[in-house]
Amino acid sequence: MPSDQPPDSAVRPGDPVARSVERLIRVGALARVEGEGGLTIRLRDGVVDDVQLRIFEPPRFFEAFLRSRSIDEVPDITARICGICPVAYQMSACHALESLLDLRVPASLRALRRLLYCGEWIESHVLHVVFLHAPDFLGFESAIAMAQSRPEYAKLVRESLKLKKAGNAIVDLIGGRAIHPINVRLGGFYKSPTVAEMSSLPARLREVHDIARNLVRWTAALAFPPFEYDYEFVALRHDSEYPMNEGRLVSNRGLNIAMAEFPLHFEEYQVPYSNALQCRRRQAGAYFVGPLARWNLNADRATPEVQELARQTGISFPCKNPYVSIVVRSLETVYAIEEALRVIAEYEPPPAPFVAYEARAGAGAWITEAPRGILFHRYEADADGRVTSATIIPPTSQNQRQIEEDLIRFAPTVLALPEEQARWRCEQVVRNYDPCISCATHSLKLSVVRE
Amino acid sequence: MMSTEVPAKHDRPSVLPLVLGIGSPHGDDRIGWLAVEKIRRRSPVPVVAHTVSGGIELLEHLSDCEAAFVIDAAYPAGTPGAMQSVVWPHVAIAGTPLLSTHGLSLFEALRLAEILGSLPRHVSIHTVEALCTSPGDSLSGEVARQLEPLVDAVLRDIVAVCRDEQTMRANPTQGSKASGTLRSSFVLRSSG
């Protein structure tokens, strides 16, 4: 539900600053966590004076909540941070704590984790591509208006639901249920699927493979605004695989570090207008994480079929246009289907669903590739297996500064447009990043204030 | 895995009433999930019941049934614990915002289902106004006290709809009339 109250940091009539403000573009937040997120762009004399993206960030709460809890509880607790990507939180948590415990899982469990991530990528990407992002490109205010306008768009939505359900089926089987999966634990899973259970998946995946391939072609034919920038793209890179759970952290500007070195090269900092910490590269600044960064740095790790599909789009990769993220999410959806089929074909049930461990004192850090970019977890625990320190840096807070910088460059280009258009175009810039404003906040209300 | 009475595979159409609890683990936002758990145990008629976290999952399930009963926490508006039951379409739901960065609202999901031709013949929505929905919040006393009345209201609704369905099937010549009654017999009810 909308909140009509201006955010605390918004400029109000009568404020000394407000008198000189020419225009304020504000995206106020609402929904289930009231007034905690939003966007304000302040323009003075036709020039962007300030951009403030405010995000309510549940991880900050969860970091405190995790202290003194058993390390066994961490995967399930952190999974509650986000209803869209709980698997990502479980994967980063498990790997970070297993690093702390010096625990290695066998290849069969590693493959199951990869399969689970494939399911989440499909679910998350299809939701964003078709229901949240595509309407922007076609000039519709929502997926409803899009589906209503033409039978072919209604068909697209219907097929996309089928595609997303294939992702649900994977998360349901491996994760124990399609939302808020409960089957993940330190060292593996509570229960591993039988070959017979696994055999239900390939037919469903093959059935939607063409839908996903067509989605790539369809998104590639959309009109992309000519908005490019020389971003620093940051993603994992693995020796042989398209990155999900493993790899080194690399960038197109020469970064190449072990995951645990993340705090040495990146830093969180507080901004006065948001309770979320922003993140930047030390001595560098904003950087870009997510599907476009992953693809730009790892396209050669995708299957030959997906690489060929990318070539057929005619888009030149590496690509510096954030709007093209919609195509890359579609490409990654096809990849996730093909990778899932490979993992299932090679599946042999593990000897045990998890590897046992003994508590020990120490620290461990890990990064995995959530659907919307790298997700960093670091934990310290005592000899009794109690968490003494937790740090969680989600992809949205890592992209936050980059989104603001995009808007600083973009806002002047829409000044001549009517207010509704200007607001809508600015929100599209934010939407390129598929931001998870919060696990519990689902919508934004736009409002423009003229001073 | 989340259902009772029948297997919960998403692509299995069902004539059984579908109960969907929308929510999250945060504070009063979990009321829909808690109600679903109780309805699974107490429903006098077989139902398919799921907990979901948002509109998109709701939309996925809607195509699988003929009658749906949605339970959700309503946005805090000064009367925590206030219950409402409405039948779609209803003006109380139409005000939900359309713009979104990260999901579909209840209104969007139901409207989209309508456009796609996958909306069940009957959809009722039962809400309890929340007091607190932030991470770490526990269930407020105001909302906790309404859990049993909420479950009772939904169960009464399910039974009434099932009875109407049976009447319609037993007397198909009055099918259209019965169907009309089904929708119009549910009016806004407020309590608490």
pLDDT value at position A36? 44
CB contact at 8 A, A222 and A129: no
Q: Quick check: B4 pLDDT over 60?
A: no
CA angle A379, A383, A388 (to 5 degrees): 35
The ipTM assigned to this model is: 0.76
Judge whether B141 and B86 are in contact, CB under 8 Å.
Answer: no
- Residue A275 has a pLDDT of 63
Closest residue in chain B to residue A83, using alpha carbons only: B53
What average pLDDT does this structure show over A158-164? 95
Confidence at residue B67, expressed as pLDDT on a 0 to 100 scale: 94
List chain A residues with CB under 8 Å of B95.
1
Q: Which residue from A402, A427, A359, A352 is spatially nearest to A135, judged by alpha carbons?
A: A427
pLDDT of residue A431: 86
- Tell me A413's DSSP state: G
| CB proximity B60 to A under 8 Å | yes
Q: Is B81 on the interface with A (CB under 8 A)?
A: no
Q: What is the mean pLDDT of chain A?
A: 86
A165 chain-B contacts, CB cut-off 8 A: 10-11, 60
Encoded tokens for A69: 């809890």
Q: Is residue A12 pLDDT above 70, yes or no?
A: no
Say what the pLDDT of residue A197 is.
Answer: 96
Q: Please give, rounded to a whole number of angstroms, the shortest distance from the CA of B124 to a CA of chain A.
A: 19
Question: Which chain A residue is nearest to residue B92, measuring alpha carbons?
Answer: A1
Distance from CA of A271 to the nearest CA of B (A): 21
Q: What is the pLDDT of residue B173?
A: 60
Give me the percent of chain A exceeding a pLDDT of 90. Answer: 65
* Run of H or E including A426: helix A419-431
B94-124 residue pLDDT tens: 654 433 445 678 888 899 999 999 999 999 9
Does B15 touch chain A if contact means CB atoms closer than 8 Å? no
Tokens of A54: 């405010």
Predicted local distance difference test score (pLDDT) of residue B146 = 97
**What is the maximal distance between C-alpha atoms in chain B?**
54
Does residue B9 carry a pLDDT above 90? no
Q: Which of A172, A396, A443, A446 to mutate to test the interface with B (most CBs of B within 10 A)?
A: A443
Residue A24 has a pLDDT of: 61
Q: How many CB atoms lie within 10 A of CB B156?
A: 11
**Which residue intervals of A259-390 are DSSP H helices?**
262-265, 291-298, 304-312, 325-345
Which residues are bridge partners to B20 per DSSP? B50, B70
CB pair distance less than 8 Å for B97 and A1: yes
CA–CA distance, A213 with A196 (Å, rounded to integer): 28
User: Pick from A62, A176, A445: which is nearest to B1 by CB?
Assistant: A176
Residue A355 in contact with residue A381, Cβ under 8 Å?
A: no
Report the DSSP beta bridge partners of residue A378: A365, A391
Distance CA A396, CA B23 (A): 22
Place of tokens 């713009």: B99
pLDDT in tens, A315-330: 999 999 999 999 999 9
> Do B1 and A177 make contact, defined as CB atoms within 8 angstroms?
yes
Q: What is the average per-residue pLDDT within A15-25?
A: 43
**More confident position, A441 or B149:** B149
Distance CA A349, CA A344 (A): 10
User: If you count DSSP H runs as helices and E runs as strands, how many of each does chain B have, helices first?
Assistant: 7, 6
3-state secondary structure at position A64: helix
Range with top average pLDDT, A17-26, A29-38, A429-438: A429-438
CA distance A421 to A414: 8
Residues of B within 8 A of A177 (CB-CB) are 1-2
pLDDT tens digits for A254-302? Answer: 999 999 999 999 998 887 776 667 889 998 999 999 999 999 999 999 9
Structure confidence at residue A29 (pLDDT): 34
Q: How far is the alpha carbon of B141 from chain A, nearest alpha carbon, in Å?
A: 18
Lowest mean pLDDT among B21-35, B84-98, B163-177: B163-177
From CA B156, how far away is CA B180, in angstroms rounded?
19
How confident is the model at residue A123, as a pLDDT?
A: 94
Question: Which of A154, A176, A442 is opposite residue B102, by nearest beta carbon?
Answer: A442
Q: Among A207-216, A219-228, A296-305, A401-410, which stretch is predicted with the lowest mean pLDDT?
A: A401-410
Rounded to a whole number of angstroms, the distance from the CA of A108 to the nearest CA of chain B is 24
**In this model, does residue A149 exceed pLDDT 90?**
yes
Across A244-257, average pLDDT: 98
* Element spanning A257, H or E: strand A256-257
The first and second tokens of residue A21, run together, are 């403000």
Which residues of B fall within a CB distance of 8 Å from A132? 100-103
By mean pLDDT, which of A77-91, A370-384, A433-447 is the weakest?
Answer: A433-447
Q: Does the distance separating the beta carbons of A83 and B53 come in below 8 Å?
A: yes
Apex CA A243: angle with CA A303 and CA A73, to 5°?
Answer: 135
Mean pLDDT throughout A204-210?
98
- Residue A175 above 80 pLDDT? yes
B16-45 per-position pLDDT tens digit = 899 999 988 888 989 999 999 999 999 999
Least confident among A53-57, A263-267, B32-36, B153-157? A53-57
**Least confident window among A7-21, A159-173, A414-428, B117-131:** A7-21
Residue A393 pLDDT greater than 60, yes or no: yes
Within an 8 Å CB–CB cutoff, is residue B48 touching chain A?
no
Q: Strand, coil or helix: what is A350? A: coil
Q: Which of A55, A9, A142 is nearest to A404 (CA)?
A: A55
Nearest residue of chain A to residue B53 (CA atoms): A83
Distances (CA, A) of A368 to A85, A87, A434: 12, 10, 17
Q: Is B127 on the interface with A (CB under 8 A)?
A: no
Exposure string (b/e) for B164-176, b if CB count within 10 Å is 16 or more?
bbeebeeeeeeee
**Inter-chain residue contact B136 with A441, CB threshold 8 Å:** no
pLDDT, mean over chain B:
77
Output the six-digit token pair for B142: 């105001």
Q: What average pLDDT does the segment A308-316 reach?
A: 98
Query: Which chain B residue's Cα is nearest to A427?
Result: B101
CB contact under 8 A, A132 and B135: no
Query: Residue A43: what pLDDT?
Result: 76
A130 vs A219: CA distance, rounded Å: 9
Residue B46 has what pLDDT?
93
- Is 0.80 topped by the overall pTM? yes
B12 at interface of A, judged by CB pairs closer than 8 A: no
Inform me whether the pLDDT recorded for A4 exceeds 60: no
Q: What is the pLDDT of residue A425?
A: 85
Give the DSSP letter string of A29-43. Answer: E-TTSTT--EEEEEE
Q: In the predicted model, what is the mean pLDDT of residues A90-119?
A: 97
Q: Mark yes or no for CB contact A131/B56 under 8 Å.
A: yes
Torsion of Cα atoms, A440 then A336 then A365 then A295, to 10°:
-100
Instruction: Output the pLDDT for position A270.
Output: 80
Confidence grade of residue A59 (pLDDT, cut at 50, 70, 90): low
Contacts of B139 (CB under 8 A, 6+ apart): B27, B28, B30, B31, B34
Cα separation, A53 vs A69, in Å, equals 32
The candidate with the shortest Cα–Cα distance to B58, out of B123, B4, B145, is B123
Whether the pLDDT of residue B5 is over 70: the answer is no
Q: 3-state class of A164 per DSSP?
A: helix
Higher pLDDT, A337 or A444: A337
| Nearest-CA distance A141 → chain B (Å) | 7
Q: Is A2 close to B97, i.e. CB distance below 8 A?
A: yes
Q: Taking each helix axis as running N to C, give the angle between helix A325-345 and helix A151-175, from 0 to 180 degrees, rounded to the nearest 10.
A: 40
